[in-house]
Structure 1
Amino acid sequence: MTRPSAAPNATGSGASDRFDPGPAATSDQTNEGHQGVPEAGSPDADGRRGPTVPISAGRAKHRAPASDDGRFEQVLESLRTQIRDLRFAQGLPGADEGEALQSDLLAQLSDYVLPRVRRPDIPLLIAVAGSTGAGKSTLVNSLVGEQVTTTGVRRPTTNSPVLACNPADVDWFSESHFIPSLPRVRQQGLAMPGKDGMLVLAASDAMPPGVALLDTPDVDSAVAAHHEFASKFLDAADLWVFVTTSTRYADARVWEFLQVARDRDTSLAVVLSRVPRKGHQQLLDHFGAMLEANGLGNATRFAISETDQISGEHFTSNVADPVRDYLADVAGEDEQRDRVSRRTFIGVIDSFAERVPELIRCVEGQIELSRELGTAVDEAYAGAARRIDSALGDGSLLRGTLLARWHEVAASGELAKSLKMRSKRSRKAKAQQAESGQRVGSLEGAVRDSLEALVVAASERASDDIEDRWRTVSGGGDLVAEALDKPGSGMLAQQVRQEIAEWQREIAEMTAERGATKRSVARFVTFDHDVVALVLIIDLLGYERSQSGGGAHAAEPTGPSPQRLLKGLFGAPSLRSMGATARDNLRARIEGLLQRERVPFDAVLASAGVPSEDAAVQLYQAKYNLEISR
C-alpha cells in the first residue's frame, strides 16, 4: 500500500513524525516553553482580529494533468459510462456494496477527475472536514479572515456545507460545473446556514483568486446524510484539512476517512484541536503513533490547545496562523500548487486500479448468483420432466382408480365390441352401447385424473425445490414470494385437463386416419375411435410392463391386453408408429405446461436487476484502457 509522501509545512520542510510544539506545528506556547507562532494581528478592544495574512496573494491556479488531445478524457468518459449503466438486483448479496462503490466512483469521476482533465485552471479546493465539535467552522472563518460560516454549541452545527471563494471564482462552483446534482444558494450579507442538503456559496474578497475553502458536515455526525455530504465533498477536493479533537481522535469514523486519504494518497493535513495542557505531549505522541500505525506518519500536523480565545465566529489571536501559513505556502506558488493537486489527482486515478475491480467483483457475484438461481429453476423442472416421463412408461400410473376402470371395461368384453359389423343395431345393442359408454367415460376420466395428478405433483415438487434453494440466498425468499404471487399461479390443474383432453382427441383422429387406410378392414368393420384411443393410451402408460414386472403393480389379466387388440386392428408397424407419435405429442404438451409453470420464476429473475452478463467484461476493458492511457 502506497504511503503518502511528506507534504510541506508552513516553513517548507516536511512535518515531523511527532506533533512538534515548535512554530511550524502548534499555535500555543507549550509547557516545554517553546514560543508559539507570532500573532498575525492583535485583537481589538472588542475582541475582533486585525488584518489577517491571506492564504495566497497570487491569482495562479493549479494545472491538472494533460488530457493527451482528449484521448484520456474519452477513456475516462467510457469508464464513467460503464459504471453509470450498471444495475444491481436489490435485496440480493452484493447490491448494497456494489451501489455504494458505483456511487463513489461516479461521484469522483464526475465531480473531481473529469473537471480537472477538461479545464486546467480550476480553483484549488481545500476541504476542511472532521469530527463533531472540532471547531472546523471557527477555523474556516479564521483562515478566511471574516465570518463566512456559522458556529455554535449545537451539534452538529454545519447542516449544510459552506464554500468560501473569491467572487471571481464563484461562477465556477455553480451547478453547471461543481457537483451538478447538489442544490446551492449564494450567501448574501452575514453568514447564515442553508437548508440541509444545500451548498452555500460564500463569495469573499478576503479569499485569494484560485483558492476555495469548504466547511463540510461532520464525518461522525448523528445525521447519516452528513456522512454522505462529507464524503461527496472530500471526493471533489484537492487537499484535505482534517480536524479532530483530543477526545474524539480515536473514534472509528475518524479513521475510516483518514484511511481513505491514505489509500488514495490524498494531499492531507491533520489538525488536533482542543488539546488540554495537562498531558499535552503524551496525547500528541499517542495521536502521532496512531497516524504512524495507519500509514499516515508523513501527514502534515497541527495542534490547537484548549483556548477561550474565540470571539464571535473565529479565533481572536494567532491560533490559526500555523494552518494559514501552511495553506499560503501550498496555494501560493504554481509549482507547489501543482504538486499538491497532482498528487491527489494521481492518487485518485491510481485508486481506480483497486476500486474498479472491487466493483467488478460485486457485478460478477450477482451474475454468478443469478446463474445459480436460474440453474435451480432449470434443474427443478428438468427433474419434473424426468419423473413424469418415467411414470408415463413404467406402468406406475396403472394402479388404483385407473386400473380398476380399465379392468371394468376389459372384463365386460366391450373392447372387442368396439369392432362392429356394418349393420343396423338393435335396441338391445343400443342399450348395451349406452352402458358401455358410461364405463368408457369413467375410464377416460380416470386417465385424465391420473395424468393431471402426475403433472401437478411433479410441478409442485419443482416449485418446492426452487423455493428451498432460493431461500438459502439472502433475499431469495422475497423473489420466491414475488414469483408465487404472479398472475396465473394455481391454474395448472385446469390447464393439464385441457391438454390431456386435446391429446385424447388427437389420438382418436389419428386412429381414424390410420384405420381408414386399411381398406380391407374398413370394408367389414367400423371403429369406435374414442375407445380405441383409450386402449392406445393404456398401452402407452406401460400396461405390458406393469403386468410383466410383478409386484404391487401386477394384477391378473382381465380380458385381452391393449397391444393384442391394437395389433389385430392396425398391425405392429402402424401401432409402433402411432404409439411414438402419441408419446412425443404428450411429452411436448407436458413440456409446454412445465415451461409455463417456470415463467414466474424466470420473469422474477429477469426483472430483478441483475447486471448483464457482459457488464463485467466491459468494466475490465474500461479499466485496462485507463491503465494503458496513463
Structure 2
Amino acid sequence: MTEPAAIPQREAMVEDGLLQGLSGLAAAVVAMPLELDIPGVEQDRALQREIAEQLGDYVVPRLENLGAPLLVVVGGSTGAGKSTLVNSIVGRRVSATGVLRPTTRTPVLVHHPADTEWFRSGRVLPDVVRTGSNSRRANTIRQVACSTLWPGVAVLDAPDFDSIDETNREMAEQLLGAADLWLFVTSAARYADQVPWDYLRRAADRNASIAVVLDRTSPEALGEVRRHLARMLSEHGLSDVALFSVPESTPDSEGVLPTGDVAQVVSWLRHLADDEAQRREIVLRTLQGAITHDVQESRQLESALTRQVDAAAQLRQDVASVYLSAHADLMTAATDGTMLRGEVLARWQDFVGSGEIFRKLERTVGSWRDKLFRRKPTTPEEVEEAAVSGLHLLILDRAERAAEEVARAWDSTQAGRTLLDSQRGLDRASRDVRVRAERIAREWREAVFELVAEQGSDKKTKARALSLGVNAAGVTLMVVVFAGTAGLTGAELGIAGGTAAAGQAVLNAVFGDQAVRDLADQAGKDLARRLEDLLESEAERYLDLLPDDVALESAHWQLEAAIASVAPPRGRRSR
C-alpha cells in the first residue's frame, strides 16, 4: 500500500482548518435531504450514512486524539469464530459463543481499565449507547474493562457483516468504519465467500489498515488454504497485510482456545500495545485513507443532491403547469360565453324577455326589448342562483380534472408514485373543494353587487341606478362578464349575442360606456384572484409533499462549500 502523507499535529490541524473543515463536512453530509424516492436513492442514502458515520464516529474524534488507544475491530463472516478469537485474545469469556446465529447480537468492546474513560466518553462512536451487559436494543455496545488486555489497544467483537439481520449488518459496517485496524476473521469453509471480499476490496480502496486471521482450518488443509488465501489477497491489492493462522481446535469452558493456537495474533497485538510509533503509523494510514475516501465520495453526494433538486423541480413544475392551465381554463370558460348556456342562459333570457329590466329605462333601451321574445316574469334572484350554481359547478369540475392531471404526471415517475402512495386521495380534488367553490361563487356575486352599488352612488347615476336596482344591475354585470363583451360597441355587440348585448346596453344606459368597461374589468380580476387562491391551495396539497426547494439548494451549497474547505489530504504539507 502507498504510505499516507503526514498528518500534522492537532495544533497545526486547527491552524490549517482541517478539523473545522471535516467537522463542517460531517454536518453537511448529515443534513442532506435525500427525501425523494428517485432511482438510485437507496445507494445514495447508504453512502450518506457511511460517510456521516465514519466522519462522526472515527475521523473527527481520531484527528482530535491521535494518541488515543488503537481500536481493533474484529469482523468477518457468520461462523468464522470471531467471538472465540476475541475471548482467546483476552484470556477469558467476554463475548458469547455458540452455534445459534447470529451469536454476536450486541457488539462487545474490550479494553484495559486504564483506557475506560476514552471509550466511555463518547468521543469515538458518539451516537452508540454503552452498556455493561448484553442488550437486545439496536445501536448498543457492551463495554468491558479487562486487565488481561494491554493499555493502548482495545478489541471490538462486531456482528457478522453477512448476518441475516439487517440491523446487525448495518452495525457491523458502522463499526468497521470506526476501526483503526480491521482484524478480518475467516475460515477454510468461508474464505472464498463473495461478501467478505467485497468488504476487503472497499477497505483496500480506502487504504485502511487490515490484518487477516485464517481460523477454524484443519492442520492437514491449513497450508494449502493459507497459500490460496494469500494469492487471493494479492489479487485484491492486499498482498502486504498481516496474515495469521489459527488451527481448528476445541475451546475450553470459557470459550478460550489453547494459548499456542492464538500466540501469533496475541503477540502481534501486544507488540502494538507496546509500540506507540507503530500504533501511530497504523492510525495515520487508516485515517489518511478515510479522509481521502470521505472527501472523494462526498462529491458523489453532490451529484445525488443535484438529482434530488432536479426531481423536485420537475414535480413542482408538473403541479404549477397543471394549476396555471386550470386557472386559465376557468377564466376562459367564465368569460367566453360558456357560462351563458343551459340554466343560466334560460333564466337570463326569461329575466330580460319579461321586460322588467326595461320598464324604468324605456327610452334608452327600448329597441333591445323589441328584439327579444316576451318571457314569463323572472326575478333577478333566480338569475343569481343559476349563475352562482353554474360557476360553482364549473370550478368544481376543473379542480377535479386538475387533480387527475397532476396524479397522472406524478405517476409517470418513481418519486411521484411514492408520494402519491404516501397520501390517499391526491388524484381527486380536496374534500372541501365543493364547499369552497360554492363559497367563491357566492362571495364573488356579493362583490359584484358591491361594485355596482358603489358605482351607483355617484350623483349623476344615482337616480338611474336606483330605478334599476342593485340586484338587477349586479346580475346584469355578471352576465356581461360571462359574455366577455365589456368594451364592445355597435356591430360587435350584435355579434356577441342579443342577450349579453342587452345587458351591456342596460348598464351603459345607467353608468356609461367607460364605467361599464371598468366595472367588468374589476369584476373579472376579482374572480380571477378568488380562483387563483382556490387553485393555489389545491396545488399546495402536492407541493407540501416535496422537499423545500430553498432547503435543497442550501444543502447543496453547504456540501459544496464544505468539500471545498477541506484541502486534499495528500497535498497538505508535513509539519
* TM tier relative to shorter chain: 0.7 to 0.9
Equivalent AA in structure 1 for residue 205 of structure 2:
D
Cα displacement (A) at 1:597: 2.4
For residue 18 of structure 2, the aligned residue among 22, 47, 72 is 72
The answer to whether the 8 A contact 1:129-1:218 is kept is yes
Greater displacement, 244-253 / 139-148? 139-148
Structure 1 segment 340-355 matched on structure 2, within 5 A: 340-355=282-297
The answer to whether the 8 A contact 1:370-1:610 is kept is no
Distance change in 2, residues 1:415/1:560 (3 Å): farther
For residue 58 of structure 2, the aligned residue among 108, 112, 115 is 112
Distance change in 2, residues 1:576/1:544 (3 Å): closer
Correspondence 1:511 to 2:457:
no
The answer to whether the 8 A contact 2:36-2:312 is kept is no
Cα displacement (A) at 1:497: 2.8
More helix, by proportion: 2
d(CA) in 2 for partners of 1:196, 1:408: 78
Equivalent AA in structure 2 for residue 578 of structure 1:
L
* Deviation per residue, 1:306-342 (Å, 9 max, x gap): 4458775233253223333443454543332222110
Greater displacement, 378-387 / 111-120? 111-120
Correspondence 1:577 to 2:518:
yes
d(CA) in 2 for partners of 1:513, 1:184: 76
d(CA) in 2 for partners of 1:408, 1:194: 84
Equivalent AA in structure 1 for residue 195 of structure 2:
R
For residue 565 of structure 1, the aligned residue among 501, 506, 510 is 506
For residue 587 of structure 1, the aligned residue among 523, 528, 538 is 528
d(CA) in 2 for partners of 1:303, 1:353: 36
The answer to whether the 8 A contact 1:420-1:527 is kept is no
TM-score, normalised to structure 1, is: 0.77
**Which residue of structure 1 lines up, in the alignment, with residue 332 of structure 2?**
390
Distance change in 2, residues 1:317/1:496 (3 Å): closer
Cα displacement (A) at 1:266: 0.6
**Which residue of structure 1 lines up, in the alignment, with residue 366 of structure 2?**
none
Correspondence 1:371 to 2:333:
no
* Deviation per residue, 1:341-379 (Å, 9 max, x gap): 100010000011222223333333333322222222211
Correspondence 1:171 to 2:117:
yes
Rg comparison, structure with higher value: 1
d(CA) in 2 for partners of 1:579, 1:88: 49
Structure 1 segment 169-568 matched on structure 2, within 5 A: 169-186=115-132, 198-276=140-218, 283-307=225-249, 313-316=255-258, 318-417=260-359, 419=361, 436-438=377-379, 440-474=380-414, 476-477=416-417, 479-480=419-420, 482=423, 484=425, 489-517=430-458, 519=460, 522=463, 526-542=467-483, 557=498, 561-568=502-509
d(CA) in 1 for partners of 2:40, 2:292: 24
The answer to whether the 8 A contact 1:125-1:239 is kept is yes
* Deviation per residue, 1:439-476 (Å, 9 max, x gap): x3332222112211221122111111111222333353
**Which residue of structure 2 lines up, in the alignment, with residue 615 of structure 1?**
555
Distance change in 2, residues 1:149/1:91 (3 Å): same
d(CA) in 2 for partners of 1:194, 1:563: 83
d(CA) in 1 for partners of 2:59, 2:461: 90
* Deviation per residue, 1:160-206 (Å, 9 max, x gap): 2223322212222214433233333458xxxxx66565433333333
Secondary structure of the corresponding residue to residue 12 of structure 2: coil
d(CA) in 2 for partners of 1:162, 1:559: 87
Distance change in 2, residues 1:412/1:543 (3 Å): farther
Equivalent AA in structure 2 for residue 314 of structure 1:
V
**Which residue of structure 2 lines up, in the alignment, with residue 605 of structure 1?**
546
* Deviation per residue, 1:193-243 (Å, 9 max, x gap): 665654333333332221122222222222333223322222221111101
d(CA) in 2 for partners of 1:181, 1:555: 74
In structure 1, the gaps of 5 or more residues are: 8-62, 188-192, 422-433, 549-553
Cα displacement (A) at 1:385: 0.8
Greater displacement, 508-517 / 446-455? 508-517
Equivalent AA in structure 1 for residue 503 of structure 2:
P
d(CA) in 1 for partners of 2:141, 2:565: 35
Cα displacement (A) at 1:625: 0.8
TM-score, normalised to structure 2, is: 0.83
* Deviation per residue, 1:260-293 (Å, 9 max, x gap): 3122211011222233566666644544444344
d(CA) in 1 for partners of 2:135, 2:393: 69
For residue 97 of structure 2, the aligned residue among 116, 128, 151 is 151
Distance change in 2, residues 1:124/1:315 (3 Å): same
Cα displacement (A) at 1:256: 3.0
The answer to whether the 8 A contact 1:142-1:315 is kept is yes
The answer to whether the 8 A contact 1:67-1:118 is kept is no
The answer to whether the 8 A contact 2:485-2:496 is kept is no
d(CA) in 2 for partners of 1:330, 1:451: 84
Q: Taking every aligned residue pair, what percent have the same amino acid on both sides? A: 31
Secondary structure of the corresponding residue to residue 128 of structure 1: strand
Q: Give the total of aligned pairs.
A: 548
d(CA) in 1 for partners of 2:187, 2:333: 76
Distance change in 2, residues 1:121/1:555 (3 Å): closer
Equivalent AA in structure 1 for residue 430 of structure 2:
S
Distance change in 2, residues 1:516/1:496 (3 Å): same
d(CA) in 2 for partners of 1:64, 1:177: 20
d(CA) in 2 for partners of 1:584, 1:559: 19
* Deviation per residue, 1:68-108 (Å, 9 max, x gap): 26232222222233233344437666664454334333322
**Which residue of structure 2 lines up, in the alignment, with residue 121 of structure 1?**
67
Equivalent AA in structure 2 for residue 164 of structure 1:
V
Equivalent AA in structure 2 for residue 626 of structure 1:
V
d(CA) in 1 for partners of 2:259, 2:476: 108
Distance change in 2, residues 1:617/1:418 (3 Å): farther
Equivalent AA in structure 1 for residue 414 of structure 2:
S
Secondary structure of the corresponding residue to residue 125 of structure 2: coil
Q: C-alpha root-mean-square deviation of aligned residues, in Å?
A: 3.7
The answer to whether the 8 A contact 1:418-1:532 is kept is no
Secondary structure of the corresponding residue to residue 541 of structure 1: helix
